[in-house]
Chain A
Amino acid sequence: MTDYDAVIIGAGHNGLVCASYLAKAGKQVLVVDGRNEPGGCASTREFSPGFNVSDCAQWFSQFDQSIVKDLDLKGAGLRLGKAKATISLQPDSDHLILDGDHITGAGIDAVDQAAYRDFRKMVRSFAKLMTTLYRSRPPKLVEQNWTDRLTLMKLGLRLKLLGRERLRDLMRIVMINIYDVMNEHFTHTALKSTIALEAVTGTNMGPRSPNTVYSYLHRATGEHLGQTGTTQVIGGMGNLGRALASAAEKQGATLKLGAAVTAIVKTNDRVTGVTLASGENISAKVVISSADPTTTFRDLLGYHQMEAGMAKRAEHYRSRSGTAKLHLALSALPTFKGLAEAQLVERLVITPPMDGMEAALNPMKYRELSDLHTFDISIPTVEDPELAPAGQHILTAIVHYVPFSPDIGWETGRPQLTNQLLSELESYAPGIGSLVTASELVVPSDFEASHGMTGGNWHHGELSIDQALMMRPFPGSTQYATAVDGLYLCGAGAHPGGGLQGLPGRNAAKEILKRGALS
């Protein structure tokens, strides 16, 4: 007799989604997490008195709508802001605005607009195809059973429906890089780099790195999965975490926060439970980890408890990131050159041309600070003033091309990089520096420490073709099961990967139920 049917490691969004679906099916589920708040990367933190920042994930754009509905997250208190346009800030203040299929500004002409519509149409058709795969367990290519065959048949049908030219395009571009694809489709420099930014954010790649087309398409699935556009969660991202937690509890799952798992317990040849930092042991029919694969296998289970080939694969799993976050507390709303106050509600991005992005990658690769960065900026207080003291504001920016651990060390590097980033911002928002009352730079190693993401990688492991779909996280531990009996994965390290989607959690729950692992 076990304490629970399933114990889930990590109360992040995927852990909670998985718990909800299992509890909904009548299973006894316990979710444990070392953090005191639910949500994992969907978290809000007061980084300076009165300033509450979404301290990890910033945008809500690809959360699967079926989960929102199934778990009644709106009823559980989830409220979203408006769908945001993307404004790509230009040095000459003639900004490029992308809103759905429409692009304006920055000298965009009819040819650019037509090219953009065509490109979007193509991306939509590919993303739709990926959505089919994302919403189901990834099919194995060999040893197929009927479920896998059905998925492959659906996929095959969709591929066929793409038409010959599209199919050829997909096969041609998916393994190349976003740099070449941009140059094929566009001539407008800022348009190219603005799109390329989507492909590299959250990764450790430059626009000329292979796999950037795949990472771009991954983000593009949001249009089909989320259907919300890029938006913010009112009250901060932590409210998504809380909504998910209350939905899970409503379904009957139990949450135990502030209780870090220190080990996955293996008895004889199967996983039988977890040990908490308090020393308490909890037994369950299965353990489902939403921690990343490196943490799960290397740190919690231990390589010595796995067969060697699997340990080797886990060790080879790549999980690096060049993405940091800058949090600023501002005494007033900043002024951006060429932007009306009302436009500050939108998503603002700053990126050098693609060659500059690629050049910015180099210092990062060699553990140095770059003098050029990309920014993905949100000023959440425009739409949600409650996040800061009255009249004051918060600016958060996803900043790319920051090394995990620079050779000069973060003690020296952190103030240096903060100043560098502020001076880069200053040229677009003159005077912003004087508004800053508090600042915080969260570097990849901080994300690893605070949110348990190995390498600071948002996706719980790099999202590249060799670590995707039926190979995620690695062969031998796919379809949410692992090579160790009784241990399952439900986090972003499982198919279809990261970003706030909830699909790994949902798919894992369905798969575990289907296998009868809890009966």
Chain B
Amino acid sequence: MKPVEIIIIVAAAAVVIGVIVAAIIRKKKGISSCDCGCDCAHCKGCGIKKPEEEKK
């Protein structure tokens, strides 16, 4: 296996793992990734987890 092919495997794995880890971190922080680009007026409300009192 050529060095460049090893780099491809590592890079591909890094992309996949990176995307999954980033999604988990976002979820824990309570941030969603919607199509608004996170610049719209609703970002604070994009929480996957919402505080109970706000929900009420």
The finding on whether chains A and B are genuine partners in a shared complex, rather than unrelated, reads no
